[in-house]
């Protein structure tokens, strides 16, 4: 479908548009369900009323207790979904995502060091962010040696991720038991006891990234072509891989720093969006919405499965992501 | 449209393939580059098409340094089709051909009537109108090759460089692609192709460039270049060259 406004014109594949709308509705329904379901059940209509106008019996539960957590889930899910979509597009590989190429592990190692060395609590998120970005720099540096060839980039990432995971083990085993336990809890991403503050930090990064995402959406139009063909069409594949990849890494690192390692969302959400819209690469808006809905639903399940015990959402997403990864491997790349 | 290389030094990583080569591509003609495997013919084509940055020397496009022009601008003037490009998953023919419009589009103007027209013409010129809605993955080798050529045609460039466009095609499809190249040249374009089949080169080319070990051994009309002594030297192939009974162009026959 072609949308034109005066001299401006944009191409929107109809199916992608429909999928994006549908995922938006799914996200909205998931958010209402996540607020509605709990130890105290709130009727969905009252959820909407409490959020929009207030003045219901459930205002406290809805607005103070559950809404911030749902917003955080949606924000970090959107950031993971976008980060994964960007990295998968430039790497031309559905298995490459921030949790596979070392960003999550870098953040994890930095957070583990911070938690076990008694760093102030406020500094843990910035340290994790820095760790994730540093890991990405190492991966990019390896990639630069081969002109950012798509497959090398992913291999370098996997190698760095393994090394970092080993680093986490080393730090943990040499730390005090109580510190190691705190680090362990951080490493499995969770929305427990988190809310507006963390959501705000992720939201700020998303806001700053928005204009860059508009640019990326266009730059990615030739990303499914091989580098030579893209170059023949006037694109700069290496520069694009670096810039778009960096944007994806920043988004994923920002989310990881706030909620810990919510594994597989960045891997699965873009692929779900891509398969639904039958596109050659993950559509960005749909990936963000799929990621957001995935985290909100996974967190709801994590809260309810063993209620009143609350599982960390990272356990759930890993539980969904593992089998999905196996499915992808079995199905092959067609 | 003038395309030329001066004192080119081109290579990959630690290997220099071409060392000090100068070449002139005659404008408005169909030029074919021939030579044995690993003689540097694809490397030369890639350097001329801005896919590979030369280490030394320069490529000139209408007197301007090719590698210093903005990539988008080059892509509006020079179309390049690399060897066996990767087919993106689930893309239709029309969608892939439309990618050729990329250098003419802006972020705020991603589709115009000119784009529509160019894609339509490209599909017709490559004779694949009836394939427009098929997924590229489902096509045969010959059809795919015509789709890629159509993508380059949609770019609407004055010059078109093709790297081994007939490889992996059966003889009927090879001839189809060669005829298409001929039609494009007759339509006013400058066409350059790397080919392996000497007799096809002799029949369809206006200008033949013969390469060996990264150097140009001879360049000129087919009748002047494709001779028994030259082919024997360049390909180390003992052969006889006779005039083709159909077209009178040189016909290379390996000696038994």
Q: What chain B residue is nearest to A146 in terms of C-alpha separation?
A: B13
At the fourth CATH level, the homologous superfamily of domain B3-88+157-254 is P-loop containing nucleotide triphosphate hydrolases (3.40.50.300)
Torsion of CA B233, B235, B239, B245, to 10 degrees: -110
Q: What's residue B170's pLDDT?
A: 87
Contact A235 B102 (CB under 8 A): yes
Q: Where are the domains of chain B?
A: 3-88+157-254
Q: How do the pLDDT tens digits run along chain B, 256 residues long?
A: 789 999 999 998 888 999 999 999 999 999 999 999 989 999 999 999 999 999 999 999 999 999 999 999 999 999 999 987 888 877 889 989 999 998 888 777 778 888 889 999 999 988 899 999 999 989 988 889 999 999 999 999 999 999 999 988 889 889 989 999 999 999 999 999 999 999 999 999 999 999 999 999 999 999 999 999 999 999 999 999 999 999 999 999 999 8
Enumerate the residues of chain B whose CB falls inside 8 A of the CB of residue A225: 85-86, 88, 99
Beta bridge partners of B59: B5
Q: What chain B residue is nearest to A13 in terms of C-alpha separation?
A: B95
Q: Which of A271, A274, A254 is nearest to A262 (CA)?
A: A254
Contact A232 B86 (CB under 8 A): no
Fill in the DSSP letter of residue B54.
Answer: -
Which of B75, B109, B112 is facing A232, going by the closest CB pair? B75
**Residues A198 and A72: beta-carbon distance below 8 Å:** yes
Phi, psi dihedrals of residue A156, rounded to the nearest 5°: -60, -40
**Residues B8 and B18: beta-carbon distance below 8 Å:** yes
Q: Which of A234, A243, A251, A231 is nearest to A291 (CA)?
A: A251
Q: What chain B residue is nearest to A282 in terms of C-alpha separation?
A: B89
Enumerate the residues of chain B whose CB falls inside 8 A of the CB of residue A334: 89, 137
Burial class (CB in 10 A: 0-12, 13-18, 19+), A38: middle
What average pLDDT does chain A have? 87
Contact A231 B50 (CB under 8 A): yes
Contact A229 B103 (CB under 8 A): no
Contact B82 A229 (CB under 8 A): yes
Please check the confidence at residue A146 and state whether its pLDDT lies above 80: no
pTM for this predicted structure: 0.85
Enumerate the residues of chain A whose CB falls inside 8 A of the CB of residue B150: none
Q: Which CATH number fits domain A2-331: 3.30.565.10, 3.30.1490.100, 3.40.50.720, 1.10.3470.10?
A: 1.10.3470.10
Structure tokens at B35: 């030579």
Phi, psi dihedrals of residue B105, rounded to the nearest 5°: -105, 155
């Amino acid at each position: 479908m072609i949308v034109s406004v005066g001299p401006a014109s944009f191409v929107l594949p109809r199916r992608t548009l429909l999928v994006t709308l549908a995922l938006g509705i799914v996200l909205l329904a998931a958010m209402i369900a996540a607020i509605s379901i709990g130890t105290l059940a709130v009727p969905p209509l009252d959820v909407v009323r409490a959020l929009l106008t207030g003045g219901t019996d459930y205002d406290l539960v809805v607005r103070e207790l559950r809404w911030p957590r749902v917003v955080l889930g949606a924000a970090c899910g959107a950031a993971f979904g976008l980060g994964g979509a960007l990295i998968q597009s430039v790497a031309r590989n559905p298995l490459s995502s921030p949790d596979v190429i070392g960003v999550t592990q870098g953040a994890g190692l930095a957070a583990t060091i911070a938690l076990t060395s008694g760093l102030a609590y406020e500094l843990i998120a910035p340290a994790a962010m820095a760790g994730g970005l540093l890991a990405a720099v190492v991966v990019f540096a390896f990639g630069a040696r081969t002109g950012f060839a798509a497959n090398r980039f992913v291999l370098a990432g996997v190698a760095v991720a393994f090394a970092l995971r080993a680093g986490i083990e080393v730090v943990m085993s040499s730390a005090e038991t109580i510190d190691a336990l705190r680090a362990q809890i951080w490493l499995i991403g969770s929305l427990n006891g988190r809310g507006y503050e963390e959501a705000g930090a992720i939201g700020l990064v998303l806001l700053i990234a928005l204009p860059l995402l508009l640019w990326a959406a266009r730059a990615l139009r030739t990303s499914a072509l091989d580098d030579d063909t893209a170059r023949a069409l006037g694109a700069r594949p290496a520069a694009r891989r670096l810039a778009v990849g960096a944007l994806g890494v920043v988004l994923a690192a920002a989310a990881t720093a706030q909620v810990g390692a919510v594994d597989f969302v960045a891997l699965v959400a873009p692929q779900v969006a891509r398969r639904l819209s039958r596109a050659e690469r993950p559509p960005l808006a749909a990936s963000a919405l799929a990621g957001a809905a995935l985290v909100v639903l996974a967190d709801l399940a994590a809260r309810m499965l063993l209620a009143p015990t609350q599982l960390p959402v990272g356990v759930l997403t890993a539980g969904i992501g593992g089998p999905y990864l196996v499915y992808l491997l079995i199905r092959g790349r067609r | 449209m003038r395309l030329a290389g001066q004192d080119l030094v081109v290579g990959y990583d630690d290997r220099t393939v071409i060392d000090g080569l100068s070449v002139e591509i005659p404008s408005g003609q169909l030029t074919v580059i021939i030579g044995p495997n690993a003689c540097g013919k694809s490397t030369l084509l890639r350097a001329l098409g801005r896919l590979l940055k030369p280490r030394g020397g320069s490529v000139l496009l209408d007197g301007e340094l090719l590698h210093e022009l903005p990539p988008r601008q080059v892509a509006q003037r020079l179309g390049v089709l690399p060897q066996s490009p990767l087919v993106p998953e689930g893309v239709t023919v029309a969608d892939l051909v439309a990618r050729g419009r990329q250098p003419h589009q802006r972020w705020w103007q991603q589709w115009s009537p000119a784009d529509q027209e160019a894609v339509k013409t490209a599909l017709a010129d490559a004779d694949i109108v009836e394939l427009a809605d098929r997924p590229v993955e489902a096509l045969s080798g010959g059809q795919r090759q015509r789709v890629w050529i159509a993508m380059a045609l949609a770019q609407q460039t004055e010059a078109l460089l093709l790297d081994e466009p007939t490889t992996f095609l059966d003889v009927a499809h090879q001839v189809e692609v060669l005829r298409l190249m001929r039609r494009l040249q007759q339509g006013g374009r400058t066409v350059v192709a790397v080919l392996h089949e000497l007799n096809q080169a002799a029949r369809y080319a206006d200008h033949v460039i013969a390469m060996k070990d990264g150097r140009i051994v001879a360049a000129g009309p087919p009748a002047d270049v494709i001779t028994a002594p030259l082919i024997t030297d360049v390909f180390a192939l003992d052969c006889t060259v006779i005039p083709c009974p159909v077209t009178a162009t040189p016909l290379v026959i390996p000696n038994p």
